[in-house]
Amino acid sequence: MAFRTLLIYNPAAGPWDMTRVLKRLAEELGAHAWQVELVETCKPGDAVWLARQASRDGLDLVLVAGGDGTINEAVNGVAGSNITLGIVPVGTGNILAHQMHMPILSPMPPYQIGEMADTLLHSRVQRVDAGLINGRYFVCWAGAGLDAEIAAQLEPRPRYAKRLGTLPYIIAAVSVASWFKGFRTRVSVEGRAFNTRALLIVASNIQLYAAFFTIARHAYMDDGLLDIFVFKGLGFSYALRHFLHMLMGQRHLNDPAVIQVLARHVQVETTPAVAVHLDGDPYGETPALVGLEAGALRFLAPPQAPGDLFCKPPEQVL
């Protein structure tokens, strides 16, 4: 089946220049009747405009070659439209790609071009939810507190730092956790409110969190609900406790210091104001109004994506 496709590449994403590899991928897809145009972003925000313009031009598909931040921009360009969004992971974090069990394109032989093309050619279109925080969409998660402070310390990173993989994340996490004391918060969920001291608040639309943890084992991307977690406590000892519980296999789900709820709308107020992130990129400070638009995004899910990410059948199988 032929697809008119815009392939958006962020050359600042990831540790290596992937232009030649992506051109070869476009040629491989073209051999299967896909019409692929490769364009590069020049500055933050370009992927929003490019994806939105592709939708207005009546294209079938937007593929995003970048990290989770570039994907987030494209989501904000196409959410609520009928164009389909797919991913070609070349960034540093690639958490959504890991969640989908996708291959990662390599700058060195064998590049994984054939495997990536085969994945895209045999994907399916799933209608998934898009989260909202303070008016901006996210597809994976949004958070306030410790993880957002870590993101603020890290981003933006130079290319040489991205070649160090997860090491900068680990160093930043330890550094921030050593001084971050937590915050007082009032969390309002579907008309109910509670006050507590917290280190971290996460609204998740997927099961994975960062590269290491399964935070919401039973989360669906299309159930019209967000998995909300409030990690209570203050200081380094609680940060270490929560980290170990998630690392040891979802013990956080049975921890009395963790509140978990399913909801479509959450309001977070904190004292003092703390950093906010969406899909791993910094996005201002609290207060934060978190919401959800059910079925706002047509997503190209690869054949190897876990079946328990979706509770509804696909709209289309390629």
3-state secondary structure of 301: strand
Residue 194 near residue 175, CB atoms below 8 Å: no
Q: Note the maximum CA span of the chain.
A: 58
Q: If you average pLDDT over residues 289-317, what whole number do you get?
A: 96
Judgement on whether residues 88 and 174 belong to the same structural domain of the protein: no
Judgement on whether residues 163 and 52 belong to the same structural domain of the protein: no
Q: How far apart are CA 100 and CA 69, in angstroms?
A: 16
Judgement on whether residues 213 and 71 belong to the same structural domain of the protein: no
3-state secondary structure of 63: strand
> Which CA distances in Å does 151 have to 26, 57, 109?
32, 35, 32
As for how many domains the chain has, the answer is: 2
**What residues make up the domain containing 164?**
136-293
Q: Which CATH number goes with the domain that contains 81?
A: 3.40.50.10330
Judgement on whether residues 112 and 178 belong to the same structural domain of the protein: no
Judgement on whether residues 116 and 145 belong to the same structural domain of the protein: no
DSSP 308: G
Judgement on whether residues 42 and 75 belong to the same structural domain of the protein: yes
Judgement on whether residues 105 and 14 belong to the same structural domain of the protein: yes
Residue 129: inside a domain: no
Residue 277: inside a domain: yes
Provide the whole-model pTM: 0.92
Predicted confidence (pLDDT) per residue in 78-129, tens digit:
999 999 999 999 867 789 999 999 988 888 887 799 999 999 999 999 999 9
Q: Residue 65 belongs to what H/E stretch?
A: strand 61-66
Judgement on whether residues 26 and 93 belong to the same structural domain of the protein: yes
Q: How far apart are CA 76 and CA 275, in angstroms?
A: 21
Residue 116: inside a domain: yes
Predicted confidence (pLDDT) per residue in 233-270, tens digit:
999 999 999 988 988 878 899 999 999 999 999 999 99
Q: 121, 148, 164 — which closes off a domain? A: 121
Could you tell me the two tokens for 292? 């959800």
Predicted confidence (pLDDT) per residue in 22-73, tens digit:
999 999 999 999 999 999 999 999 999 999 999 999 999 999 999 899 999 9
Q: Which CATH number goes with the domain that contains 238?
A: 2.60.200.40
